[in-house]
Structure 1
Amino acid sequence: MSQQEQVVAADVDSLARQVRGPVLRPGDAGYDGERAGFQTYGSRQPQVIVGAVDAQDVRAAVGFARSHGVPVAIQATGHGLPAETQGGVLISTRRMSGVRINADRRTAAIEAGVRWEQVIEAAARHGLAPLSGSSPQVGAISYVLGGGISLLARSHGYAADHVRAVDVVTADAQLRRVTAESDPVLFWALRGAGGNFGVVTALEIDLVPVVRLYGGGLYFDAPLVGDVLDAWQRWTHTVPEDLTSSIALIPFPDKPVLPEPLRGRHVAHVRIAYTGDTETGERLVQPLRAVGSRLIDTLGEMPYTASHSICNDPTMPMPYYGTTRMLRDLDTAAVQALLELAGPGAASPCVVELRHLGGVLGRPPAVANAVGNRGAQYSLGLTSRLGSVAPTEEELDTVRGVQRDVLNALQPWDTGGRYLNFLTGEGADVQQVRTAYDRADYERLTELKAAYDPGNMFRLNHNIPPATQR
């Protein structure tokens, strides 16, 4: 144990007296449950966990870490942990779950541990909706700070484009209210740079007047996967901005927990979210239905509160490894390359997800932020479920090899960029994080990091190191 760690252990009791939430060390009751998240692969062994209940608890935890020279990690739901946590302080924000809707302003004030399902339900009572993603269980704050590609992304842009105010505890343990007027430079950086500039304790975000959707999913069996993928990529070049879609190639295991039509099948799952009328929606999706019979077809009118059913993401924690790329375009040749390596019959299949971008996502927001790669027309995500929370090196090598082969094959369509929120397995690599930003913006972020967090206290994340440490 280092001298710093000994000091931390000696002073934890003092920290516990300063905060309202639990303060836990390895071996304490509740420690394992507090550090667990949705992503179960990767080691999280913090020296101290602070279960924050409010911003003052966060201030105390950051001040403690600062005085002892140790790093800080933040976790709400643990869906996309980018770095292993060994030592230091983990601030668990799950108890900070307040949501306040201002219907007149069409805004929501959300605390650090809020999940999208809470915001969706609260906003719906006022005829409004947040720019939430495919899973209602994801923590809203980290999703927004990393960009946020919502179910309404093509018609409204990134969720980070719709932030009005940020409450953040910076590395000096001060709580700041940051807006475009009060601190335009830090406001620019916070929206897109993840947790690199502090612990965000609350956001004020825009809501949109959406009550219902025409949406759902189309599931096609293995023999049609190639035709569906090619039809989808051609179809995306024709659809209006108020239609956002994605497609996933999924090798489903043969397990009773799954719907019977999907068990043991490698399927193509097309996901649709359209804010126009149902009649037009039916007409727009006809080219996809025309490809062939569906295993399941759930397209239809739905309340936004049922939007989680569109992608039907897994809800149980699991170990997984993934990577991402931003693509400038797709064509039939790209589809064929993808199918050969990751389609039905592939030796080591993984989940492949393509999201259609463009539309408002490609335009500068009203108030500039750090979100990069706005010129991409598609995002590619590759996710492999691991056999255990402690996979063998052989399994990891196989997974990495499959994903690397797919990425190499799609190099002609690759912009060279990544999307921050989808970096998991390789997300701790500073070089990978760099590609989530435009070059000039990344340089600016490193300079701001040197000003606001020169010791890189907030480094157990998708890290942007201070300019002085590069």
Structure 2
Amino acid sequence: MQWAAAHREPVGVQSTGHGADLPMEGGLLLTTGRMQELEVDPRHRVARIGAGVRWRRVIDEVAPHGLAVLNGSASDAGAVGYTLGGGLPVLGRVFGFAADHLRGLDVVTPDGRLRHVDARHEPELFALLRGGKGNLGVVTSMTLGLVRLEQLYGGGIFYPGRDALEVLSAFSRWAPGLPESASTSVALRWMPHDPIVPEQLNHQLLVHLRFCWVGGAAEGAAALEPMREVSRPLLDAVGPMDYRDIDRVHMDATRPGLYVLTGEFLRDFDAAAVAALLQRAGPGSGCPLPEVGIRLMGGAFARSDGMADAVSGRDAAFFLEMIGWLAPHVAAATPPALAEILRAMAPWSTGRAFVNMHGVPGGETEHARAWSEDVYARLVKAKALYDPDNLLRFQHVVGQGG
């Protein structure tokens, strides 16, 4: 970073491959994959995690102690980059955003200075890094609080795609009444041929209900029962589980590919929203996207820990999440399909996006939708202070005209 600042050379940062949505022409690319520091203190329930560590390694290290981390749908993602964007965990309704559990960060700012920041040391920089993504420096490690997890009941239920209207309608009525112990989402999925996917589900449009209950199996089963009575599932894989098997809940594809992720926070997901979504992404729509989902928000997502942060989405009821595939035979059709669904769901949108799943945003106005007006103004001010030459100008950049 000192060399880049001296030569006014722009800098890009990459760890696991997630978020490589835009071409980088010129500049210095920093890859953090060799930063594999991992220290776990089960007594105090904290872990120090290097910038190149993936969630899978952390999960396997902490699970024997009855602890868990707040990773997302795929444990193959890098822990640090995910958390800097806020982090939307599978168990978020119980424990909140991943960034809520940040205790401290080691960050190299664009002047080449290594800073140790937390709630007491440079609190504004720490606050803006909790959800502000990579605008203000290169994080080399983070100290993260761990959560105690003694019982978990979860997994997924797959319904035939032809029953999408019935399943999504039932979900829209059932999900808002769930207690905070439950985290859930539902998705229209074109299932790939992948080792993690059961053979009988390959290459067909399905409706995938994902469900997790932090607590006993009997209580979890009772909460899920209304959805088990909907349609006739092709596969019901929900039951008591070890957190090390958390990838079974979403069954994300495990093979690398050219994907773009985008989404929108929603204030509601009612019958009209169900109809609008199915018209663009349901059976017979010809939608080229491999996944279009709706995640229940609320619960601990809606609460902060009292410290300032840059996390968005606390006021949302649901989150619309979409995965587009950029393979040659669908690359041209994917961006219009994403845009069409976003337009169709605009009447239910809060107007906010999520920086970790914002796709390839356009100019500064679109970039700014990932945060509230106040947070965005603070990010722009901090960007001018810490990175006046806009060295960190790739990916999701604030200010500088986007």
Amino acid at match of 2:69: P
Is 1:375–2:295 an aligned residue pair?
no
What is the match of residue 242 of structure 2? 303
Match of 1:449 among 361, 379, 383: 383
What is the match of residue 191 of structure 1? 130
Where 1:236 maps in the other structure, the secondary structure is: helix
Where 2:171 maps in the other structure, the secondary structure is: helix
Is 1:213–2:152 an aligned residue pair?
yes
Is 1:402–2:342 an aligned residue pair?
no
Where 1:101 maps in the other structure, the secondary structure is: strand
Where 2:321 maps in the other structure, the secondary structure is: strand
Is 1:148–2:87 an aligned residue pair?
yes
Structural mapping, 1:19-34, within 5 Å: none
Contact kept in structure 2, 1:101 and 1:107, CA below 8 Å: yes
Structural mapping, 1:228-307, within 5 Å: 228-253=167-192, 258-307=197-246
Q: Per-residue deviation at 1:384?
A: 2.0
Q: Per-residue deviation at 1:428?
A: 6.0
Amino acid at match of 1:77: T
What is the match of residue 356 of structure 1? 296
Cα deviation code 1:171-206 (max 9, x no counterpart): 110111001101111111111111111000000001
Q: CA RMSD in A?
A: 1.7
Match of 2:105 among 166, 178, 199: 166
Amino acid at match of 1:355: R
Query: Who wins on radius of gyration, i.e. which is larger?
Result: 1
CA distance in 2, matches of 1:220, 1:442: 41
CA distance in 1, matches of 2:307, 2:196: 45
What is the match of residue 432 of structure 1? 366
Is 1:412–2:347 an aligned residue pair?
yes
Which consecutive residues of structure 2, in runs of 5 or more, have no partner in the other structure?
Answer: none
Structure possessing the higher relative contact order (Cα contacts under 8 Å, 6 or more residues apart): 2
CA distance in 1, matches of 2:186, 2:197: 19
Contact kept in structure 2, 1:129 and 1:211, CA below 8 Å: no
CA distance in 2, matches of 1:64, 1:205: 30
CA distance in 2, matches of 1:299, 1:172: 50
Go from structure 1 to structure 2 and tell me whether the alpha carbon gap of 1:338 and 1:281 turns closer, same or farther (over 3 Å shift): same
Match of 2:61 among 96, 119, 122: 122
Where 2:300 maps in the other structure, the secondary structure is: helix
Q: Per-residue deviation at 1:86?
A: 1.1
What is the match of residue 463 of structure 1? 397
Higher mean alpha-carbon deviation, 64-73 vs 257-266, is at: 257-266
CA distance in 1, matches of 2:153, 2:194: 30
Q: Percent sequence identity over matched residues?
A: 38
CA distance in 2, matches of 1:255, 1:84: 28
What is the match of residue 17 of structure 1? none
Q: Per-residue deviation at 1:442?
A: 0.5
Contact kept in structure 2, 1:165 and 1:178, CA below 8 Å: yes
Q: Per-residue deviation at 1:68?
A: 1.2
Amino acid at match of 2:345: L
Amino acid at match of 1:185: E
Cα deviation code 1:365-396 (max 9, x no counterpart): 231201123211111112221223xx7xxx54
What is the match of residue 283 of structure 2? 344
What is the match of residue 134 of structure 1? 73
Go from structure 1 to structure 2 and tell me whether the alpha carbon gap of 1:255 and 1:185 turns closer, same or farther (over 3 Å shift): closer
Q: Per-residue deviation at 1:427?
A: 3.5
Amino acid at match of 2:35: M
Q: Per-residue deviation at 1:256?
A: 9.0
The TM-score normalised by the length of structure 2 is 0.96
Go from structure 1 to structure 2 and tell me whether the alpha carbon gap of 1:256 and 1:348 turns closer, same or farther (over 3 Å shift): same
Go from structure 1 to structure 2 and tell me whether the alpha carbon gap of 1:160 and 1:253 turns closer, same or farther (over 3 Å shift): closer
Q: Per-residue deviation at 1:407?
A: 1.5
Contact kept in structure 2, 1:82 and 1:460, CA below 8 Å: no
CA distance in 2, matches of 1:397, 1:461: 21
Structural mapping, 1:46-65, within 5 Å: 62-65=1-4
CA distance in 1, matches of 2:173, 2:363: 34
Q: Per-residue deviation at 1:301?
A: 0.2
Go from structure 1 to structure 2 and tell me whether the alpha carbon gap of 1:69 and 1:254 turns closer, same or farther (over 3 Å shift): closer
What is the match of residue 51 of structure 1? none
Q: Per-residue deviation at 1:337?
A: 0.8
Contact kept in structure 2, 1:82 and 1:423, CA below 8 Å: no
Where 1:237 maps in the other structure, the secondary structure is: helix
Amino acid at match of 1:204: T
Where 1:248 maps in the other structure, the secondary structure is: strand
Go from structure 1 to structure 2 and tell me whether the alpha carbon gap of 1:372 and 1:122 turns closer, same or farther (over 3 Å shift): same
CA distance in 1, matches of 2:132, 2:323: 23
Q: Per-residue deviation at 1:278?
A: 0.3
Match of 1:332 among 259, 268, 271: 271
Cα deviation code 1:206-231 (max 9, x no counterpart): 10011441000000011212111111
The TM-score normalised by the length of structure 1 is 0.82
Cα deviation code 1:25-70 (max 9, x no counterpart): xxxxxxxxxxxxxxxxxxxxxxxxxxxxxxxxxxxxx112111111
Contact kept in structure 2, 1:124 and 1:211, CA below 8 Å: no
Tell me how many residue pairs correspond in the alignment: 401
Which consecutive residues of structure 1, in runs of 5 or more, have no partner in the other structure?
Answer: 1-61
Q: Per-residue deviation at 1:294?
A: 1.0
